[in-house]
Amino acid sequence: MFKREEPVEDAEEFIEIKPEVVEEAKKVNIRIETLNDYRDVEKIQKLLREGNVIFLKIRNMKERDLGELKRSVERLKRTILAMNGDIVGVEEDFLILTPAFAKIFRGMEEEAKVEVA
């Protein structure tokens, strides 16, 4: 009569979760390309316009002709600026070029600019 009742635990409770319809995310292509001479700039611009992120090797051109490298990079910068993309140098031998949908994180410095603005 004065017996203490223990709470009865259900053996196993399952909650059925219906899978949500997940849209297939658009895949981003990351290309590794080499800038051998000024003529390669057109190919790289085309890849950027198609929405590719590009890791661009510049070592060969830098060792061979620094003036041509500067001219090529300036042309790429103008293209990226026109399409609201981003470009950054990595080490001394690579550039990363992105279309408008991808931005390159540059560390705490960039966060500080955003907070102040």
Nearest by Cα to 73 from 41, 105, 34: 41
Q: Both tokens of residue 71?
A: 């001219």
What type of residue is 74? Answer: E
| Residue range 5-61, pLDDT digits in tens | 555 555 566 666 666 654 555 778 889 999 998 999 999 999 999 989 999 999 999
pLDDT for 3 equals: 60
Query: DSSP readout, 24-66?
Result: PPPP--EEEEE--STTHHHHHHHHHHTT-EEEEE-HHHHHH-H
For the stretch 87-104, pLDDT in tens is: 998 888 999 999 988 888
- The hierarchical CATH code for the domain 30-103 is 3.30.110.150
Q: Is 8 left (phi over 0), alpha (psi -120 to 50) or beta?
A: beta
User: What digits encode the pLDDT tens for the residues 35-50?
Assistant: 998 999 999 999 999 9
Domain boundaries, the chain: 30-103
pLDDT, mean over the chain: 80
Q: Is pLDDT at 85 greater than 60 in this prediction?
A: yes
